[in-house]
Amino acid sequence: MQRPCFLVVDRETSTGISTRKLILETAKFNVITAYSSQEAIETLRRYPALDGVVTDAGMTDMACDKLLAQLKALRPDIPLIVIRTPSGTSCDLATHTLDTFDPAKLLALLQTIRPEAAREIERRNEELEKRHFELIKRSQYSNEP
């Protein structure tokens, strides 16, 4: 199974760690991060098979709709998820808009983009967790006097 891969466009500097990237990777999604709108465009050009783009509506180097238009020009079918503050600017070209950066809402939305892969990731996580507990249980019994 190939895990879904998302491009995260984040205003945080490349010297820091993107919170969105960490959340998506913890959920077992593959993530490529771009720290500017231009870098996002170049990344999609280089990796056109991405499953979707998650961007901050408040990117300062390019208007949100301009960025989304350029991404759609490269790949018209790509899901574009925009995160904005409730009073923030809207992006009309967004496929989905979240008015908050609630990690659970973002993950739930991304799981709808590739539901079969999301189910497989969940199944695999449950299997690994079960094996982990079995190993702990065995090690506890083998250490008894």
Report all structural domains of the chain as residue ranges with CATH numbers, in order of start: 5-118 (3.40.50.2300)
pLDDT by residue, tens only, the chain of 145 residues: 578 999 999 876 655 557 788 888 888 889 999 989 999 999 999 999 999 999 988 888 999 999 999 999 999 999 999 998 777 777 899 999 998 778 889 988 988 988 787 677 777 777 877 887 777 777 777 666 5
Q: Return the pLDDT at 136.
A: 79
Q: Return the pLDDT at 113.
A: 87
Q: Return the pLDDT at 16.
A: 52
Say how far apart CA 24 and CA 131 lie, in whole Å: 23
Are the CB atoms for 141 and 32 separated by under 8 Å?
A: no
Query: Where does the chain have alpha helices with state H?
Result: 19-26, 37-46, 64-74, 103-113, 115-142
**pTM listed for this prediction:** 0.78
Q: Return the pLDDT at 138.
A: 74
The backbone torsions φ and ψ at residue 139, rounded to the nearest 5 degrees and listed phi first, read -65, -30
